[in-house]
Structure 1
């Protein structure tokens, strides 16, 4: 029989002792809770299904996330992105709770809070990390009794698939007809040209041009080494990609033109004999998150310059020009452009997609381009 005794004025301690099992004890706020817990533990021991809950009850979500970052996340290719998710989860009040005390209702409440400020895909990524933490704790950290509350929570449906294409130029409406010809000469520049000019960065313009010419991911461009760039064959070799497979990416004449001056500068510094083990061998010495921030700032500045030019020329700005533009949209743009050159089976090899269905998410042909094929 379990032992229930009062501890102090407001607490009750339950103790369970059974031959063949370590003694178990836990403190509760009410006698009813203590009795219910003791009955459950004794029943599990009688049926031979009891497993220790002590570690799951002593480990907070914050501590589990920290251990997960050190032991699991560090070996992943997307460690930078996942580290950001882990920090976000650690900052929540729920992180102070022990793993064993977190229920699906708590996760559902957290999901709803996130959905107020973030898109479903972002929330899904965060829930996926939390779910993996619980699974790892149960399978590898000796917390066999721990259940995964994330598995019971209804997942939001992602509805933020992007179809954004890069504008080759801007469309404006004349307000008073003043300065139209002068403005139209500058209006021939597309979004990428304006973003590159507004960046003020030495690295961002070639990164932008390489991305839109090759459909390489941001991380693939940033981690690119000169030892894997063959300008004579017009090929870049990617030994490690997001999906775990190596691939070769063909370089267009424009992509080669982007890399040639950088290669000349690299050779002039005497780095051509390096073995690829240090940052001096990287084509672009910049972090992935720095590329994103630099691109966002450049888009904001380019939009402001565009608005100022429209006002000076008394023209109505295009509401879609240089708005809602992200760096990853360059991969969409490149894929859509390459689709007009290569058949599907070759395009999957260039872009690195194993499943053609995934490739279709990035292929967004313009209706007017399809119409020209009918004429």
Structure 2
């Protein structure tokens, strides 16, 4: 079956067998050509032969580009894949699919962990894994050795940052932006994500039934968020600052909101330090420290439980898919639990 031919200074091995696609490969030595031919023949004899010509001609970068075009573009969270794919292509994009190995991915993982958090590296590896799965299951690309597997970095424990009411009040009163103040207040009252709050449209808010409909969410499942009386007051205030009964409730963009929030946190921290200095007392080491916008969702979720709502009720409000996901966002105060125990 295997035919070895010398072509100039190389050795060409060709394997042909009826019922199987022909295979050929060039080597610098005759011994390597013979060994390769025998391995292909052995695979055919065992019935484990697979045609991997396309995999040998396709790079990791090409698979990622196709995944971004055909798969990521159809997902709401697809924009996040673009940056991750760029990083992957910069490190392993030049490898042919048949050359990509577990050891190469392990090196990538270890190098990335030196400069990025474990969760970031997990997201990158998951993207590559999804692209390879689609390539093998739907695009007809065969990987003789299967999809390379490695131990993924261990995810960090969920954040346990509780945002005090003092911090919330300081941010609302000190931001200088009425819209940001309303967004912060609504986040604490409803547990909605930043993107969900900023996507609110007037025509999807039912002020009589106290509900807000979210047709697009991070989980790609629409949901209706109940609005408490306090949340409705915030909505009414924001409603009054814009014209008409249709259109966005807020005019700000997600990126601008995050930047404004970060500036407000820093400003309030400096103000706190200045006040403490004037009183000759040490500043609170936790006040306005390690605080991000998403912590407001954590705080709101915990408060829902503390108000006596059950797991299913809270999940219906927050949109969490599983109990494990919900637990990562819920941090109940021990003293509050002690009061319930009596």
Range class of TM-score, shorter chain? 0.7 to 0.9
> Is 2:152 the partner of 1:158?
no
CA distance in 1, matches of 2:178, 2:298: 24
* Residue in structure 2 matched with residue 284 of structure 1 by the alignment: 250
SS at match of 1:3: strand
1:95 Cα deviation after fit: 1.1
RMSD (Å), alpha carbons: 2.7
* Residue in structure 1 matched with residue 16 of structure 2 by the alignment: 17
Aligned CA distance change for structure 1 residues 363 and 13 (closer, same or farther; 3 Å): same
| CA-to-aligned-CA distance 1:331-371 (integer Å, 9 cap, x gap) | 11001111122233322221223433432332212223333
| CA-to-aligned-CA distance 1:106-128 (integer Å, 9 cap, x gap) | 11111112222333333222221
| Kept after mapping to 2: 8 A contact 1:120/1:160 | no
* Residue in structure 1 matched with residue 310 of structure 2 by the alignment: 343
> Is 2:250 the partner of 1:251?
no
| Kept after mapping to 1: 8 A contact 2:213/2:223 | yes
Q: Pick from 125, 133, 136: which aligns with 2:134?
A: 136
CA distance in 2, matches of 1:286, 1:147: 50
Q: Pick from 271, 276, 282: which aligns with 1:316?
A: 282
1:135 Cα deviation after fit: 0.5
1:145 Cα deviation after fit: 3.3
TM-score by length of 2: 0.87
Aligned CA distance change for structure 1 residues 146 and 165 (closer, same or farther; 3 Å): farther
Aligned CA distance change for structure 1 residues 306 and 19 (closer, same or farther; 3 Å): same
Q: Pick from 157, 164, 173: which aligns with 1:167?
A: 164
| CA-to-aligned-CA distance 1:65-102 (integer Å, 9 cap, x gap) | 1111111112223223233322222232x111111210
1:286 Cα deviation after fit: 4.5
Q: Which runs of 5+ in 1 are unaligned?
A: 169-189, 275-280
| Kept after mapping to 1: 8 A contact 2:13/2:24 | yes
1:197 Cα deviation after fit: 5.6
- Taking the TM superposition and a 5 Å limit, the aligned residue runs for 1:1-375 are 1-6=1-6, 11-92=10-91, 94-145=92-143, 147-150=145-148, 152-168=149-165, 190-196=166-172, 201=177, 203-266=179-242, 268=243, 270=244, 272=245, 281-341=247-307, 342-373=309-340
Deviates more, 1:199-208 or 1:82-91: 199-208
Aligned CA distance change for structure 1 residues 340 and 195 (closer, same or farther; 3 Å): same
1:290 Cα deviation after fit: 4.5
| CA-to-aligned-CA distance 1:306-340 (integer Å, 9 cap, x gap) | 33443344331222111211222111100111112
Q: Which runs of 5+ in 2 are unaligned?
A: none
TM-score by length of 1: 0.80
| Kept after mapping to 2: 8 A contact 1:235/1:249 | yes
CA distance in 1, matches of 2:341, 2:175: 40
Aligned residues: 341
Aligned CA distance change for structure 1 residues 202 and 74 (closer, same or farther; 3 Å): farther
Aligned CA distance change for structure 1 residues 108 and 293 (closer, same or farther; 3 Å): farther
